């Protein structure tokens, strides 16, 4: 397959949002030829995330490109994300503290611009990102407004003017899991943890607690037992 035959470039972290977004564009938008970009910027769980991305790409027969951003590692805090309770997920101040502790300067904008460079070079028309409504409350680059602004930027910074698609942007985590189940997503492959040193989720950080709550509310105890310590 030639690189300019791709329907979309996908930002694939191996986490819930990006994985379900992949399944959505394959099943609902009928995108068959996808280039996935995985970014290693020195995050604590880069190895586990890459392993998840590889498993997903094998499952869906997707081309994966692993991109190292060593300079971003120098700007990224390596401290563990704070532990939270399930009740703490609805405490905006507590979640803002988590967002501050795991913030990577200009991360999503940087990733989208790299994807746009691939699109511009090879005339690929779509970029897919996995963002969600819940974390949009504390991460401004998870908001639909951010996507709208980036799309306007690409009208000036690229010649092919790719469009960003964020299928899960208006969904809660519970709704994303529900969508994933309806699309037969292999949830056992996802990795959405900030802190774990193993292939299993720590079950204590905010990302884990959000995922666990969403799985519980969708009666997915078997998946919880598979992917959490």
Does an H or E element contain 9, and which?
strand 8-11
Q: How far apart are CA 160 and CA 151, in angstroms?
A: 12
Mind listing the domains of the chain with CATH numbers? Answer: 3-227 (3.40.50.620)
What is the model's pLDDT at position 78? Answer: 76
- Find the mean pLDDT for residues 108-126: 97
What is the model's pLDDT at position 2? Answer: 62
pTM: 0.94
What is the model's pLDDT at position 204? Answer: 93
Query: Are 18 and 184 in contact, with CB atoms under 8 Å apart?
Result: no
- Find the mean pLDDT for residues 152-164: 98
Q: How far apart are CA 227 and CA 229, in angstroms?
A: 7
- pLDDT tens digit sequence for 211-229: 999 999 999 999 999 999 8
How much of the chain exceeds pLDDT 90, in percent?
79
- Find the mean pLDDT for residues 105-133: 97
Strand partners, 229: none
Q: What is the rounded average pLDDT for all residues in the chain?
A: 93
Query: Does 27 score more than 90 pLDDT?
Result: yes
What is the model's pLDDT at position 97? Answer: 72
Confidence class of residue 87 from pLDDT cuts 50, 70 and 90?
low
Q: How far apart are CA 168 and CA 170, in angstroms?
A: 6
- Find the mean pLDDT for residues 142-155: 97
Distances (CA, A) of 62 to 32, 56, 94, 162, 180: 9, 8, 37, 20, 18
- pLDDT tens digit sequence for 45-69: 999 999 999 999 999 999 999 999 9
What is the model's pLDDT at position 1? Answer: 55
Confidence class of residue 4 from pLDDT cuts 50, 70 and 90?
low
- pLDDT tens digit sequence for 184-207: 999 999 999 999 999 999 999 989
What is the model's pLDDT at position 3? Answer: 67
Query: Are 201 and 49 in contact, with CB atoms under 8 Å apart?
Result: no
């Amino acid at each position: 397959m030639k690189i300019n035959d791709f329907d979309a470039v996908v930002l694939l972290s191996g986490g819930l949002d990006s994985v379900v977004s992949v399944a959505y564009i394959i099943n609902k938008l009928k995108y068959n030829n996808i280039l996935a970009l995985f970014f290693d910027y020195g995050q604590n769980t880069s190895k586990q995330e890459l392993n998840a991305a590889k498993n997903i790409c094998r499952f869906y027969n997707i081309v994966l490109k692993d991109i190292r951003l060593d300079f971003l590692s120098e700007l990224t805090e390596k401290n563990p994300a704070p532990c939270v309770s399930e009740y703490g997920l609805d405490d905006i101040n507590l979640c803002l503290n988590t967002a501050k502790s795991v913030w990577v300067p200009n991360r999503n904008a940087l990733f989208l611009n790299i994807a746009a460079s691939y699109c511009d070079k090879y005339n690929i028309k779509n970029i897919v990102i996995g963002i969600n409504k819940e974390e949009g409350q504390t991460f401004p680059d998870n908001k639909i407004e951010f996507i709208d602004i980036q799309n306007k930027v690409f009208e000036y910074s690229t010649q092919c003017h790719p469009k960003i698609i964020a299928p899960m942007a208006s969904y809660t985590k519970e709704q994303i899991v529900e969508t994933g189940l309806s699309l037969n997503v292999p949830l056992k492959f996802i990795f959405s943890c900030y802190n774990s040193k193993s292939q299993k989720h720590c079950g204590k950080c905010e990302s884990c607690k959000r995922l666990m709550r969403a799985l519980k509310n969708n009666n997915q105890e078997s998946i919880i037992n598979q992917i959490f310590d």
